[in-house]
Amino acid sequence: MLLALLIWVFTVVIVWMFAGDYWTFPEAINEHGRQYDQHFATTLYITGAIFFVSQIALGWTIFKYRDNGGRATYSHGNNKLEVLWTSAAAVLFIGAVLLSTRIWAGVHLTPPQGEVVEIEAVAKQFLFNFRYAGADGKFGKLDIKQINDAAGNPFGIDEKDPAGKDDVVNSNIRVPKGKPVRLILRSRDVIHNFFVRELRVKQDMVPGMVIPLHFQADKVGKYDVACSELCGLGHHQMRAELEVMEPADFEKWLQEEDAKLKAQ
């Protein structure tokens, strides 16, 4: 009796909390994020409805069929019922995956269209660094032997390559609003992760691998980039800032950085 009540209370509270405004995602700042949220909501409706019905039914069964001296029903099962709920679950669950393949493909398989801003990222314990090609639009060659954090060269940009002279390196990432960004992820030591929850984007940065990631943010603002793969002592402090800027401001910032490099 009490148990049935408790199960009901938990069920109602869980449904209420998931359905209410309290625990929904922060607003997405890109098209992929909005599609993601929509798909999440669809999954939530499907599972939520089944969850609610099954838990309420469980509570009701416990309440209704508690032992009061009567004899239990004799039954081995019901094949029709089994087939029915297996196929219903199959349609709903597998449907949910099939529905979302388009979103998955959009992130991973479809290359970004139009004028793409290319940025490189390298992670190390416990910092992100980002690199822009600079005025010449070309990244300088990398040579791991030339990595020198003290001298501001966490990427190991080759001194001898002229294309690298104007490469802008920054520990935060800035992107122009409304333009597709292609981010090339690398790691220098252990596995890290690039996670921006407003973008609904999360990707491991694996040493020895070069992993491309693309997104297009359409809302100006500053957002947290968090490392989401255990990387050591400072894992909980490995943060960068993502700043989405008006395209004009972005260009201006890049030019300023370029000027600074030339002055050196």
Run of H or E including 85:
helix 79-108
Nearest distance, CB of residue 50 and other proteins, angstroms: 7
> Which of 12, 232, 247, 260: binder of other proteins (CB under 8 A)?
232
Span from 55-63, 133-141, 160-168, 242-250 in contact with other proteins (CB under 8 A): 55-63
228 forms part of the interface with other proteins (CB under 8 A): yes
Structure tokens at 19: 């359905």
Structure tokens at 37: 């949220």
Nearest distance, CB of residue 157 and other proteins, angstroms: 14
Terminal CA-to-CA distance of the chain, rounded, Å?
A: 78
Of 89 and 259, the one with the shorter C-beta distance to other proteins is 89
> Which of 27, 86, 221, 252: binder of other proteins (CB under 8 A)?
86
Span from 33-41, 113-121, 163-171, 174-182 in contact with other proteins (CB under 8 A): 33-41
16 forms part of the interface with other proteins (CB under 8 A): no
248 forms part of the interface with other proteins (CB under 8 A): no
12 forms part of the interface with other proteins (CB under 8 A): no
Spatial contact of 184 and 120, defined as CB atoms under 8 Å apart: yes
Residues 6+ apart with CB under 8 A from 152: 169
Structure tokens at 65: 């069929």
259 forms part of the interface with other proteins (CB under 8 A): no
DSSP 32: H
75 forms part of the interface with other proteins (CB under 8 A): yes
Spatial contact of 12 and 53, defined as CB atoms under 8 Å apart: no
Nearest distance, CB of residue 82 and other proteins, angstroms: 5
214 forms part of the interface with other proteins (CB under 8 A): no
Backbone angles phi, psi at 186, to 5 degrees: -140, 165
77 forms part of the interface with other proteins (CB under 8 A): yes
Run of H or E including 223:
strand 221-226
72 forms part of the interface with other proteins (CB under 8 A): yes
> Which of 80, 113, 114, 144: binder of other proteins (CB under 8 A)?
144
Distance (Å, whole) CA 154 – CA 148: 6
Residue 239 β-bridge partners: 226
Nearest distance, CB of residue 14 and other proteins, angstroms: 6
Instruction: Kindly give the pairing relationship between strand 181-187 and strand 173-176.
Output: unpaired
